[in-house]
Each structure stands twice: as C-alpha cells, then as structure tokens.
Amino acid sequence: MLKYLPKSQAVLQVYAVIAVMLCAWTITAFLWKLSAWLLMLNMGEIFTVFAYAMLANLAESLIVLLLLLTASALLPPHLFRDHFVVRGTILSIGIVGSLMLFVKLDMEFGIESGARLLIGPLAGLVLTSVLLGLPPRFRLVRFLHSAIAWMADRLTVFLFILVPLFLIVLAYVAFRNIA
Amino acid sequence: MSRINRRDFLKLYAALLAGAAFSGASPLLSSAHSQNSDKPNILIFVFDAMSARHLSLYGYARKTTPNLEKFAERASVYHRHYAGGNFTTTGTASMLTGMYPWTHRAFNYRGMIDRGLTDRNLFNLIGKEYTRAAFTQNLWADILLSQFEADLDFHLPCDSYSQFADSLMQPHALRADRDLAYYVFQDFLNLRVDDPHPYPGSLFLASADLSRALASDRHHISADYPKGLPTNHDFSYENPGVLQGIGRLVQGSLLQSSPYLGYFHFWSPHEPYNARKDFVGIFPNDLKAQVKHRHSHSASNYSEASLRKYRREYDEFIADLDAEFGRLLSELEKSGVLQNSYVIVTSDHGELFERGELGHASALMYDPVTHIPLLISAPGQTARSDFHSLTSNVDLLPTLLQIAGREIPSWSEGRILPGFGKADDPSRSLFPMVAKDNPAFQPIQHGTFTLIKGVYELFFFTGYPGHPDAFELYNLQEDPDELNDLYKKDITTASQMKDELLEAVSTANRNYQKK
C-alpha cells in the first residue's frame, strides 16, 4: 500500500503548505475578532474558542492532504506521486486559494453578487490546471517548479509550531469534552 | 449535521416520553421530578422585541392583539412594565437573574452573565423539585441559557421546529462547551451570509455555507410568505410550526412531570417583519404618529416614510403572531394543562421606530424600546386585574420564586410584583440601561442610563465619543411621545432624579470594583 504513496518527507512538505495557508486565514480572522471578544470573554474562554478553531483547521488540513494522497494512490505514479511536492503544492494552493478567493469575494461584495462570486475561484482552478499541465521542458517551468519545491521545503519549519499546537488543542478539547 | 442532531434529539425525546407514558415512569426524570400537584406549573412565553406600545391590549390604535386581549380577561395585566435593557442580552439576563445589567454584566452584544453569578438564575433557584425546560430561537438568549445548562433538565436546540438552517454548524453541536458554542460557530467559524462584515474563521465551513446560500432561495419566498419566511438570520421558520411544536411539548411534558417550569422564548416579532400573507396589508397606512426628528445619538437616519412602513410591517407581524399564540392557548386550554399552570406572557425588550432609529440596541432608550408587556394568568383565574404601578422584568424572578414557595434571595434587585402579596410602591425607581461597548470586566464608563420614577423618565448619555454627557427628562403621563425635554425646565425634578441616577451608577460601579 505504502508504495502507492509519496515519501513521508514529500508528504510533510505538502502538508506544511496546506496547514500554513489554512492557519494563516484562521489566525488573521481570529485577530480581527479578538478586540470584540475582549469586551465580554475572559482569556480562558478566548483560548477555548481558538482551540476549537485550530482543531477545525487540523481536520480541514487533513482532509485536503487525504484528497491528495488518494489522488496519488489512484493516478499513475509518473503523473502525481513522482512529482508529489510540486504538483501537490500547486494543487493545494489552487484548492485552498480558490476557497480563500470565494469567501473573500463574498466578504467584499456580499451574497447579492450571486454566481459572480464563483468567477474568481473558477479562474483560480483553471490556472491551477494550467500550471499542473505545463511541461517541464521549458526553462521557466523548471524554474517555477524548483521555486515551488523550495517554498514547500521552507514552510515545513512551521510544522514545528503547528503540529505541537494541534496536539495541545486536541488534548485540551478532548479533556473538556471527556471531563 | 445540525439537522440530524436536532431530529435525533426530538426523536429521542418523543420516544422517551412515549415510553414513559406506557411504562408509567419517566426514565428522564429523577425521583424529585415525580408528580407533585401541590406546586403549580409555570409557563413563560417570551416574544422577542415586542413593544407594549404596539399592542392594542395596551391601547394601541391598530388592533394588533385581539387574542392577547382575550387572554387578558383572566390575567393580571401590568401596564408599566420595563425591561432591564434595550436588547436581548440585557433584557433576558435581567429577567432570568433578577438583577440589573450593571450587576449581572451581560450588557455587550452576545455577552454573558458574570461567571461568578451564574448560579443566580431562576432555574437553579426554583430547585430540582421542578422539571425545568428551556427553549429559545434567539441565539444570544441561548448563550445565557447555556450558562444555566447545569440547572436545566431540558434545553432544546435553537433550531428545533425550524425549516432551513443557514449554517452547517449550530451551537448545540458543542455539547461540552455550549456556552461558548455561539462564539466558536456563529461568531467565528461559520459564514453568516446576512452579516454585513463577515470574516469567517473556517474556509471549509464558510465555503459550504456560502455555496448553500448561492444554491438556494435564501429568503424562502412563497405564496404564504410573500416577504419570505421569518428568520433569525441563522435559520428560517414558520410560527405555526414553532408554536404548535411547543404546545405539543408542553402537553406531553406536563403529563409526565409536574411541577414544570417552561421558558419559551420566540424570535418573533423581531425583525425581519415577515408576516404571513393573511396579515400583510391588514392595517391601512393612516396611523397618526408624531414626527420625531433624528436624535444626535441615533446610529441610523431612516426617513419618516421608511419608519412608517416598517412600523406597519411590525404591527402586521405582531398580529400574525397573536393569532398563532391564540391558537396555542386554546390548545393548552382544551388539554387542561392550564388548570394548574401560571402562564406568563412578556418580552425581553421593545422596538423603536422614531428619531431616525429603527429597531433596538441603539443608544436610545425611549419608552417604546424598554416598555414591554407583562400578563400573568394564575390557575383558575377568571377575572382581569390591571396594575398601573412601575414594574421591571427583574421582578419576575422573585415573583416566580414566591409562587413556587421558594426563598427569595437577598441579592435580587427585583421585587414581588403587585398582586402577589406586596403593595404598590409609588416611590419605586427603575434603572434600564445600555452599555454595549463597555468592557464587561470594567466599571461602566459609557452608555445610556435611565431612571424611571413616578411619571418621569430621565436619560443620562455618557461617554459617547464626540458627544458631551447629556441628560433628558420627560413626563410620560403628560408627554407619552417624549417630545418635550423638561431637563432645563423642571429644575427640581431634574436635579433630584439626576442625583439619584448618578448615585445609583456610582454605587453599581463601586460594588463591581469591590467584587
């Protein structure tokens, strides 16, 4: 089974990209709301809200990773598994970025904009497909791929913060719900 | 997920009740909850944002409440009853704790009661002898009920009896942290599509909520509801379904568990004022309302024409609700559950359609936004009693404790209502207030404080950025529209009331700092 999956180092690099993007969004939203909560919630309560939010992030990031791993297992190795860091990163950025764009457009223009809110995310997904399909024989594409791989590698440093944080909030929430 | 949970909950509840009916013993109820006919049942019906000023029961020109008037024929009717604040959190917390907002500290939007005072609530004080059930469609009121979770035998999810939930996650999804569930979901992770400034914390939940909103008719407009279904902006519902559901619940519960304390807090007639088609346009647009110019503290600037339109829609929505409530009362009457039950009808706050302001929770505390209905029908009561002395919704807790034969705590800032053993006190002072932007953990520095005493009402606007502190004084008997500010005209009254109000605020702040 494991032979269908990419190497663990590659998985970690892609996971770092996913987790950093999702957590960056959540933490920004958290800071935006914090001033209002300070009026009525104490520090313990604010941490509890944060813990549930980070737990949601953990679940979401694992779902995205699982999707990529499933694709890796199902597709021919030369299409995805052998280029997991680059293609997984492009796909992660494409999926999470499109969701960000979708929600951000609603935040800017409101639900009344209707289906026009979908234009941005769909364009993002098309761009992702194009990037995935670019053949590496062009120098610019090779440069792009190496830049993406470098970025994914650099982002793994955040896992030293995020993984312990996920474990702490997981234990905290589990304790609250069991106790 | 929320739908499954809700259904599961209701199915489980119905199954247990049915099982209990057949077995002759309720597995849900402790031995303390066995039948005890000595104590009366208490049913509290709260209609959110229902201003006494808009009820024909209290003399309003439009015939908005024929069914409440019928109910009043065998009830005690309180004509000068006031909320502790001008929006849900303050009003509901004052009603359920018997304390003013400056003591219970739930005065922010979606705020909570001081964590050290959560045992000071009606459900706890009435004791385990009663089966205590609570349901609210108002999520801010649900935060407060969640703080009393340990004192409730049944706490129904807010979206029980609703039809369309806007978000995937609803507060009852967090069972262990239900008091914080609103902040986790509605205030943070979910995308609430009606929120003017959304910033959802979860991309997945937000995208799911947004996709659902885009894919559906969000307003649920139908032939029966030409303006769309009533909604609390988190889920939509129909009043017949909600009130019938509560009626069935009460009938089923009282068969099994008596004495019973039920708190039922409905969203209607809160905005949006989406009445059924039978009530749309029932009132002609000929109501003679005084033109009141925009107040310097108004946050909005609605035109008089807009305010007249919304006022009419609000009145229609009240009439719609009144018809449904009449049906519920008939059902309860027929089933005999009212024979040993006190029925209380009230609100958490009123509604304002004047001075450029629409709704509630602004800096304005004029009479329509704090003056609320209160009717109490005792078991076997056949005649109407009218009480015209000042009463506050902090009085409900001591009164209900007296009815239940429980001790009234010394910390309660309320009094037993007239008609329940205490004589009227003409020198009584009431202190509704709004201080929603003040930190709950600090002395109150800015907000609008009110002193209502006798026929007078004094407002103290303090700490509003860009505004100097100001007072206004009105004689509610001679000037019910509050147009003639007497603050600089009736110097003696103004001075006495100002001293009393400032002393009360100062004492409240001092007590808080000491604590």
CB atoms within 10 A of CB A173: 18
Hey, are the CB atoms on A42 and B441 less than 8 Å from each other?
yes
User: B322-355 as b/e, with b when 16 or more CB fall inside 10 Å?
Assistant: bbbbbbbbebbeebebbebbbbbbbbbbbbbbbb
Report whether B130 contacts B260 (CB < 8 A). Answer: yes
| B→A interface, C-beta within 8 Å | 108, 110-112, 115, 174-177, 180, 183-184, 187-189, 191, 193, 197-207, 210, 213-214, 218, 437-441
Which one-letter amino acid corresponds to residue A93? Answer: I
- Say if CB B498 and CB B470 are below 8 A apart: no
Q: How far does the CA of residue A67 sit from the closest CA of chain B (Å)?
A: 14
User: What does DSSP say about strands B131-136 and B164-165: parallel, antiparallel, or unpaired?
Assistant: unpaired
Smallest Cα distance from A23 to chain B, Å: 9
Range of the domain at B355: 2-166+218-514
List chain A residues with CB under 8 Å of B440.
Answer: 39-40
Q: What stretch of H or E contains B132?
A: strand B131-136
Contact A42 B207 (CB under 8 A): no
Give the Cα-Cα-Cα angle B79, B482, B361 (nearest 5 degrees): 80
* B176/A42 CB distance under 8 A: no
Is position B188 within any domain?
no
Structural domain includes residue B138: yes
Per-residue confidence (pLDDT) for residue B36, from 0 to 100: 56
Alpha carbon distance, N-terminus to C-terminus of chain A: 38
Answer yes or no: do B210 and A103 touch at CB < 8 A.
yes
Q: How far apart are CA B133 and CA B122, in angstroms?
A: 11
Question: Parallel, antiparallel, or unpaired for β B374-377 and B76-82?
Answer: antiparallel
CA distance B124 to A141: 69
Residue B216: its pLDDT value, please? Answer: 85
Q: How many CB atoms lie within 10 A of CB B426?
A: 9
Instruction: Give per-10-residue mean pLDDT for chain A (179 aa).
Output: 87 98 98 96 97 97 97 94 96 97 95 92 96 90 96 97 98 91
- Choosing among B183, B192, B216, which should be mutated to test the A contact, i.e. which has the most A CBs within 10 A? B183
Chain B residue at shortest CA distance from A114: B214
- In chain A, which residue's Cα lies nearest the Cα of B105? A40
Residue B295 burial (CB count, 10 A): 17
Cβ of B203 and A115 within 8 Å? Answer: no
CATH number of the domain within which B425 lies? 3.40.720.10
What are the residue ranges in chain B where pLDDT is below 70? 1-37
Scanning the structure block, which residue is given the tokens 């009360």? B504
Pick A40's closest partner by Cβ from B111, B177, B199.
Answer: B111
For B214, the closest of A37, A52, A114 (CB atoms) is A114
Residues of chain B contacting residue A37, judged by C-beta atoms under 8 Å apart: 183, 187
Cα separation, A71 vs A92, whole angstroms: 12
Q: Which residue has the tokens 């603050």?
A: B487
B218 to A41: CB separation less than 8 angstroms, yes or no:
no
Give B406: exposed, middle or buried? Use CB within 10 Å, 0-12, 13-18, 19+: middle
- The CA–CA distances, whole Å, from B174 to A60, A169, B409 equal 18, 15, 32
Return the pLDDT at B257: 80
- pLDDT score for B37: 60
Would you put residue B55 in left (φ > 0), alpha (ψ -120 to 50) or beta? beta
Domain boundaries, chain A: 9-30+44-178
Average confidence score pLDDT of chain A: 95
**CA distance, residue A156 to nearest chain B CA (Å):** 21
Pairing of strands B429-430, B433-434: unpaired
- A49 and B200 in contact by Cβ < 8 A? no
Rounded to an integer, what distance in angstroms lies between the CA atom of residue B162 and that of residue B229? 10
B383: left (phi over 0), alpha (psi -120 to 50) or beta: beta
Residue A149 has what pLDDT? 96
Do residues A22 and A96 touch, judged by C-beta distance below 8 A?
Answer: yes
Spell out which residues of chain A touch residue B441, defining contact as CB-CB under 8 Å: 42
**How near does any CA of chain B get to the CA of A153, in Å?**
24
Q: Which bin fits B401, alpha (ψ -120 to 50), beta or left (φ > 0)? A: alpha
pLDDT at B4: 41
Based on the structure, what is the number of domains in chain B? 1
Q: Collapsing DSSP states into helix, strand and coil, what is residue A31?
A: helix
**Minimal CA separation from A152 to chain B, in Å:** 21
Q: Among B176, B200, B438, whose Cβ lies nearest the Cβ of A29?
A: B200
Dump pLDDT digits (tens) for A92-106.
Answer: 999 999 999 999 999
Residue B159 lies in a domain: yes
Q: Residue B439: its chain A contacts at CB < 8 A?
A: 38-40
User: Which chain B residue is nearest to residue A33, measuring alpha carbons?
Assistant: B188
For A31, nearest residue in chain B (alpha carbons): B201
* Cβ contact A49–B191 (<8 Å): no
pLDDT at B30: 40
Q: Say whether A103 and B200 touch across the interface (CB within 8 A).
A: yes
Q: Which residues of B touch A97 (CB under 8 A)?
A: none
